[in-house]
Chain A
Amino acid sequence: MHKPRSRRRWHIAVFLAPAVLVYSAVMILPLFDTLRLSLFTEGPEGRVFAGLANFRTLFGDPNWSRQFWNALANNFWFFLIHMAVQNPIGIALAAILSAPGLRLAGFYRSAIFIPTILSFVIVGFAWKLILSPIWGIAPSMLDAVGLKSWFAPWLGREETALTTLALISVWQFVGIPMMLIYAALLSIPDEILEAAECDGVTGWSAFWKIKLPLILPSIGIISILTFVANFNAFDLIYAAQGALAGPNFSSDILGTFLYRTFFGFQLQLGDPYMGSAIASAMFAVILVGVCIYLFGIQTRIRRYQL
């Protein structure tokens, strides 16, 4: 602000203020307040400072730590299934869709994206009904292809509930990697592919050798988006299995664990301080993941100037 503009430029503050105020008051301050609350506990006369006692309980008390590590491990499994199933399917669909001259591409694209726009409540209940042994849609369909013996009440068994839920979530969200990869594939200039063709690189080898390296940055972004979304997931498990994330907590993830602790369930009373401690742990996990991506992966991915 030099001489020609000696008057204060109030309009900058006016433009910034509403966004900064709402964002700070409803997002940033509560975030730090939650981290702070994790250091307190309920004393006889209200809130008292407790240092790291909540975290000692969370990691030290066998009742709490068993639940925490169970939820964290389940959450990693949930994420791994997304990475191993959702992203390859998404990339494959995008690769097929982006083939030049494919008819009806717009129709397929819109139809495959439909599950992504549905709410978790719809998705959770719809699949619960379809997989229900009472209704019998899943067993009769398996019967039609001669695989009836494969059927089991997958959502009701401890060994399979979490994997089934993860696959339902994959079914729901496959549209997102598909769209982002599709966009990345379309942005590859034709000259590059034609040059490769002249060198005899076509079809599959063109995909592996030319296109895949060029879309790696997009795959990186999809991975970190999936990571953040999975580690604060809650809705699908809650809609399909309830707050207890049954059977016997086998589908419990950090989001449902936080909800149960914060609000209480059955005989256990809600505890905002332990809830804050779990939220802080989630924050730490997400922060570590984002840092690994930003400093470990994003800087190493080779980017090509197109």
Chain B
Amino acid sequence: MSRARTNPLNSVAAHAALITYTLIALFPVWVIVTNSFKSRRAIFSEPLALPDADSFSLIGYQTVMRQGDFVLYFQNSMIVTVVSLALILIFGAMAAFALAEYRFRGNTLWGLYLALGIMIPIRIGTVAILQGMVATGLVNTLAALILVYTAQGLPLAVFILSEFMRQVSDDLKDAGRIDGLSEYRIFFRLVLPLVRPAMATVAVFNMIPIWNDLWFPLILAPAEQVKTLTLGSQVFIGQFVTDWNAVLSALSLAVLPVLVLYIVFSRQLIRGITSGAVK
């Protein structure tokens, strides 16, 4: 890198700006998590202090564990997110392969049709989605949420994956055909393993919005048995709004899973964004 573009003064200013903004970004999370380990009195008297031997208390977590079924909520969120992602990836990859690999009448039209959903939010159709779920008896089931999130994730998945599938070498696929592989085997055995990085990008993009969604759980699956973690913590906090220990603990418990997911996948996510997957 050329030296003309860096001088020490600039770099100090750059670090100062970045540190300031990092503090702004992390401060609220920090305050919530540290205070969740304090007694009620310490929360109010010394909100910015770290918990010490005197002020340390797990009473909030005890209330949360006694009153809210957070293990069940977590399990529901997990099922919905994992199954939706699996369906988005497999259905999206199949459709992307059909559009990228074969020339057939209506190819462009199907592509455009599937791309519509990238710009139009699925929430606009909520009234009719709820009626459809009522008619098919899917209200208050995890299946309703899985269907909605799959439909919501497919357009972008097809778009990104078909871009990548066009880059898979034709020679490889033709070699497979000469060896007598069926089109299905060519897709599952040859093409899918090659687009695995793109599939990971699609999965990471979809994971966080599905996990964090409040609208559809609230409307399609509000029953206790099928509450997701996001809806569960919303309802719990609404009921315990004056019990600050419980609220702070519930918030910390809700932060934890996404934070773990983020730490595990952040490299993938950042590589996905910066490799120009969204253009």
Contacts and interface: CB of A to CB of B under 8 A. Distances in A.
Contact of A96 (B18, B28, B148, B218): B18
Given A31-B128, A279-B126, A117 B116 contact: no
A17 to B, nearest CB: 8
Interface size class of B (residues with CB under 8 A): 35 or more
Interface string B1-38: 11011100011001101110110111011011000000
B104 to A, nearest CB: 6
Contacts of B44: 135-136
Interface stretch (A60-68, A74-82, A102-110, A153-161): A102-110
B119 A228 contact: yes
Interface residues of A, number: 93
B25 A115 contact: yes
B273 A31 contact: no
B214 A119 contact: yes
Contacts of A234: 123, 214-215
Interface in A224-279: 224, 228, 232, 234-235, 238-239, 255, 258, 262-263, 272, 275-276, 279
Nearest to A95: B14
A290 interface: yes
Given A137-B31, A238-B214, A96 B2 contact: no
Contacts of B11: 99, 101-102
B121 A232 contact: yes
Contacts of B140: none
A102 B2 contact: no
Given A19-B91, A102-B11, A179-B270, A30 B258 contact: no
B82 interface: no
25 contacts: A9-B102, A15-B98, A16-B99, A20-B114, A22-B150, A22-B151, A28-B117, A100-B5, A102-B11, A108-B22, A110-B270, A114-B29, A114-B259, A118-B29, A120-B212, A125-B237, A125-B251, A126-B31, A182-B274, A232-B123, A234-B214, A235-B214, A275-B126, A275-B127, A287-B120
Given A126-B32, A202-B5, 10 more contacts: A12-B98, A20-B114, A22-B150, A26-B129, A97-B18, A100-B2, A122-B32, A136-B44, A140-B47, A276-B127
> 3 tightest A-B contacts by CB?
A30-B125, A33-B128, A19-B95
